[in-house]
Structure 1
Amino acid sequence: MKRNEWMALIVTSFMMMAVCLSAQAKVKKTVERGMTKQEVVAILGQPKLTNFDAYGDRWEYYKMNALTGESKRIVVGFDLNGMVVAYETKFWDNNTNSEIGNCNQRPAPPYGSGAGPDGPAYYGYCLDDASFSRLYNKVKGANFDDNKLDLIEVASIGCFYSCSQTARMMKMFTFGDAQLKVLRLMAPHIVDPQNATDIYNVLTFDSEKNKAGEIIRNSRPGM
């Protein structure tokens, strides 16, 4: 690779890392287990819809990102004491009229163990839609797979991702071995490993899915 191309790649990589670090710094609060309804309102505002059952209340929010064309449905679950016990996000691409993925749900993955409802939970926040879209487009615009992987590696120093974001990045690559390389880079920064089903669905072969399960478990000591 020519020297100028290497320099451009290095500069772009550090720019992406700066975007990620900046995005994380801007997020001062996120909904977490054990929060009260007042704390949730302070972060998300008043819910669009509410319902309840014998186990507690559920609040629903709907938000749209004009930059990406994605709508986001957020559901917050409370126990009978009014404390947060569940948080679910679903993304919907209005351009394709299809669901993109979930963040912070708790489906049981079909391969391996330890990443489902009974496994350890890792709470945090992933990149917001706009920041992830900038990163995604920058990686997509790189000329070669190796360049794409270099960008992901550097950006991941300061980024955290949802499983759906990781799956979208993996889909950029055609072959399973390259997709698994992406997962190795991003797995230590995934905030919702209980949603590993999104990642498994990207892969074609059972052997790849099993390998993905190993990567996710090995990236989280104690899983």
Structure 2
Amino acid sequence: MKKYALALVALVLTFLSSCGGVGKRQSAVNQLERGMTKDQVTALLGAPRNKSVQEDGSETWDFSYMDLLDRHLRVSVTFFNDRVTKYDSHRTDHDHRDNQSPVIVTTPPAIPPQGHIPPATRGRGYIDSRVYEEEARAFELFLEDVRRIPFDDERIGFICSVARRSLFTVEQASRLIAPFRWDEQRLTILEALTPRLRDGYNAFRLIDLFSYGSGKERARQILEANPPIPWDYDPRSMGQMEEQESFEDFVRAVERQTWDKDKINYIRDAAQRNSFTVQQVIRLLKLFTWDNERLPVLEAVAPRIRDGFNTYKLIEYFDFQDAKQKARRILGLTE
């Protein structure tokens, strides 16, 4: 009998050890961070129970743990481009002694997706229910275009030119800087992005991207020379258009104008109190036939574009090289 009891104890201990215990797994969950790789997550949590892939390319891993005390822990981790963008955990502890209600422990919400700032600070502008998601995807598309450029010098030049007409979060800046191997390359990009950081009070985190003391010191000097942009300043979103007027309503109002000159003036007036996405600007440019009509439209809305890192895509909507060059100057893509 004693031999069986010892075997049973050994079996229980083996089971608890294999499960790791919910408490031990919760400690591992607490070490999760946004930006981790899949290998790092696997090292912490083991293999997922389920995997799912969404249409936007993001992938979600689901983990589930249970121990002999009937404690349950469920974890969901979302990856984009093989990096953690979001994670949640749900833990339930059942206390059979007094039948108390389950205790639910949830990790703090992740930082909002890239490209987002709190709605209260955004102003009005032509924002519909899809804009927040579109802006998050817009940066990912820009990042893909950066990655497709074969040479480092060209990639750096592209990032610096786009930075003149956009704002970035510290996380976005980190994702642009980190792939480069040398501190000198990273410093060049940091210098271009720092004046355009929307959450500059977090910029000190970028110092850790530099390998050597001299690089870290130069990065610190660049950041100190550029005070953070106040939250109430954002050239994309200072508009005051009535909320009930959607962008589609605005386009129909432009189309009702009789002459092209009147359409251009109508857009100019709206641009004084609104902001636009690149896709919305494309819609406006397509309302006109000739480059000499599109250029004044672009000039009116260019300072009001929200996703400035995609403005280079507007160049293709002009027919002639002279107009394309003028469009680049309007967008700040050339000196």
TM-score by length of 1: 0.50
**Structure whose CA Rg is larger:** 2
- Structure showing the higher strand proportion among its residues: 1
TM-score by length of 2: 0.35
